[in-house]
Structure 1
């Protein structure tokens, strides 16, 4: 048998970028060594592979014949250091229920973020950017993200309506049926007025009984004073198109403070996405974090949680650092 009658071309033999031989090329090499008694070096030179590769395919042919020329899995028979199945299930459960990223899941389960990321990839979990964070449904649009270069370049402002907790607890304490009866007793609503700096994500929040223009203006005066005390000079404010933000008193308050007011496009809340995301974090980690017995208990927890958010909570949008780390010389940053 003359191996030269089998023309070898690289285009014919390449099955993927790291494979010098196709299955047909491996068979030809093995036949040259086993049948025609070529030396391993001569066969290796002819097929432009290493001597060890030529020996591997020749030995495989002697043991298994033509069937031995197919690819085999490189996966090891045993993986003693692989994450246990029960831990993998906990990771997937947290991802599905809470829709958290690897860093937050790792913090909760006391694992390395790289381990969580590897498990999510192994199970082919969708990226959070591909999911609707409220429903978990897949979305097709790619959200363009932006960040202003310095604190104060833009502050996002918004209002979040929140039901008050009746004395004795709401439905999270008493159950759904009792909770609905308490709603009919007219415990009312609270309005969370929130301001979030675009660059640092530093946040300021107040609870009020309404969302009227005069209330919004008073909130902004105190929010701006807070940012000033942190060394942040606010230049622009972004709001939605709520009636309080379209009022003359709001316009005059910002104009007198030399602050430019911008509004989002109608029906495009994602334009004000940083404060919208803060709203959701506020509900998940403070408002609904535990079954409060009364509204006053929940409100008493807000200042402590807000300090934790600004000074200690890791924010994945800014590299896993707290917002205060992006505000130079902020007092209380390390408390």
Structure 2
């Protein structure tokens, strides 16, 4: 493919050659018309006469005597996967320059350790289902409730403790301090579009999880999305008979991740991290209710306005078609 500053694209190169060969134009006149040099026109005319394509030739040399042997490159990748060492350490083992090791790892897309699975040492294999609703991920995020007046993250440990002690209508522990409890954020996120449905509850029981699933199915149905499969971890709510029977009644195939492998459910785990940064701990909330009231606004921003790198820097709603109020 021609570079950005090329005067002639492959289509215009063919036109130049045909004007000279087929129509009999002088080379100098064609060069003046297209504002290129005489040798440039001659080059594409010769290519046309010899039957060669008008696209750019590869600049790769026919031979590279100083190229790193393939055996060394394979061993470099193997050591990276097994030992998870950097270019300097691998260079000492292989007897080559660290820059060479970095080039090999970059070619293999292993130049960052974040690209390598910690458990297996193999490159991370990313996947995406072909259409919305083909698979949704579900999970629960546990957050500590905020005392009246603000939590310790923003007001400090001392004032945070005072706010906890002064929070009314809460049961007390054995030391006299209030039990603020936890907020359980139930999330259903579509694998293809990354559109998320979230509710906050005071527990993570099977009854609550099933109720969230029912409302999520209706919400996605209003967007024209039919849920076919649901992927969860091995929490008690998702291993219950109630969850299994509900999925069967909704014609949804339930699936669970392998134990101790949260990476399999990574899309919802990553969403929870984004949610924690953008909503849960984004600013100082003076009460738990204030934080919960802020969730619908942030979720609207995430689904319909916030650019998502997995969606080509477009919001998740951009992957849905003919959705009411899509651009509001």
- Residues 69-114 of structure 1, C-alpha deviations (whole Å, 9 max, x = no match): xxxxxxxxxxxxxxxxxxxxxxxxxxxxxxxxxxxxxxxxxxxxxx
Give the alignment partner of residue 264 of structure 1, picking from 249, 257, 263: 257
Indicate whether 1:174 and 2:159 are aligned: no
Counterpart mapping for 1:1-335 below 5 A:
127=112, 129-130=114-115, 141-180=122-161, 182=164, 184-335=177-328
Give the deviation of 1:225 after TM superposition. 0.5
Contact 1:130 1:140 in 2 (8 A): no
Aligned CA-pair RMSD: 2.1
Greater helix fraction, Structure 1 or Structure 2 = 1
Matched residue SS, 1:162: strand
With normalisation by structure 1, the TM-score equals: 0.58
- Residues 181-208 of structure 1, C-alpha deviations (whole Å, 9 max, x = no match): 6284211100000000000000000000
| Structure 2 alignment gaps of length 5 or more | 1-105, 166-176
- Rounded Cα–Cα distance in structure 2 between residues aligned with 1:141 and 1:178: 47
- Rounded Cα–Cα distance in structure 2 between residues aligned with 1:128 and 1:287: 29
Give the direction of change, closer, same or farther, for the CA distance of 1:331–1:154 in structure 2 (3 Å limit): same
Contact 2:139 2:186 in 1 (8 A): yes
Counterpart residue number, 2:39? none
Contact 1:311 1:322 in 2 (8 A): yes
Give the deviation of 1:257 after TM superposition. 0.7
Contact 1:129 1:142 in 2 (8 A): no
Give the deviation of 1:293 after TM superposition. 1.0
Matched residue SS, 1:226: helix
Counterpart residue number, 1:112? none
Matched residue SS, 1:334: coil
Contact 1:157 1:195 in 2 (8 A): yes
Larger radius of gyration: 1
Contact 2:195 2:317 in 1 (8 A): yes
With normalisation by structure 2, the TM-score equals: 0.60
Give the deviation of 1:144 after TM superposition. 1.0
Contact 1:173 1:293 in 2 (8 A): no
Give the deviation of 1:176 after TM superposition. 2.2
| Structure 1 alignment gaps of length 5 or more | 1-120
Which stretch has the larger CA shift, 176-185 or 142-151?
Answer: 176-185
